[in-house]
Amino acid sequence: DIQMTQSPSSLSASVGDRVTITCRASQSIANWLAWFQQKPGKAPKLLVSKASTLESGVPSRFSGTASGTDFTLTISGLQPDDFATYYCQQYSNYPYSFGQGTKLDIK
Amino acid sequence: QVELVQSGAEVQKPGASVTLSCKAAGYTFSRFHIHWVRQAPGQGLEWMGWINPNTGGTHYAQKFQGWVTMTRDTSMTTAYLDLRSLKSDDTAVFFCARSQGGLFDSWGQGTLVTVSS
């Protein structure tokens, strides 16, 4: 099974900051990686697919990059609406697997 | 627009079984797999498996084999998740999600299942 190691598990930042969340796959997943945003009591929302493709309607301050088995989600210029929990997920091999999540809160 | 609407919260006693539903609208139901994802309270997301609404074929994560059954009713454009022999630590929110090539592009709102005596 592919393990997704996400870091940090929590992050405090201020409006306007630039933050980066990292996800490492335990083996090659090509670029079959998605990023989700989840707010309390809500379903996850797809932000990025194929490691770096921004979904329609997602603000351009979000971006995803890939380097081998390392993936990053960067938010440039945090907005109040961005404080949430973020998950990476590989959809290369079954069983699909998620990172442990990164809770982003206001400093 | 694509919409997945899940059934309401459930409270069940240990040992009971429950069936959750996920009604799809706004797209051709048979064309996209439906996946189920579990989220225990305060925890992360855990993939459970999928059902192919066209064929009824299923694929379960090994951890959930023998405990869950995924079915569908194409006439109702609804997918179902059966959970058996519930235990208190099965308390969780269960999400359904539509997938395109494995990518979860639309999600239901989630169903909370509480297992308590």
pLDDT digits (tens, 9 = 90+) for B47-100: 999 999 999 999 999 999 999 999 999 999 999 999 999 999 999 999 999 999
What is the pLDDT, as a whole number, of residue A67?
97
Percent of chain B with pLDDT over 90: 99
Question: How many Cβ contacts (< 8 angstroms) between chains A and B?
Answer: 54
Q: What is the pLDDT of residues A57-91, one digit of tens each?
A: 999 999 999 999 999 999 999 999 999 999 999 99
Mean pLDDT of A93-101: 97
B62, B63, B107 member nearest A44 (Cβ): B107
Candidates A36, A42, A95; nearest CB to B62: A95
The residues near A9 (Cβ < 8 Å, ≥ 6 apart) are: A100, A101, A102, A103
What's the mean pLDDT when you consider all of chain A?
A: 97
DSSP summary character for residue A27: S
Which pLDDT belongs to residue A107?
87
Rg (CA), chain A: 13
Please, are residues A55 and A45 in contact by the beta-carbon 8 Å criterion?
no
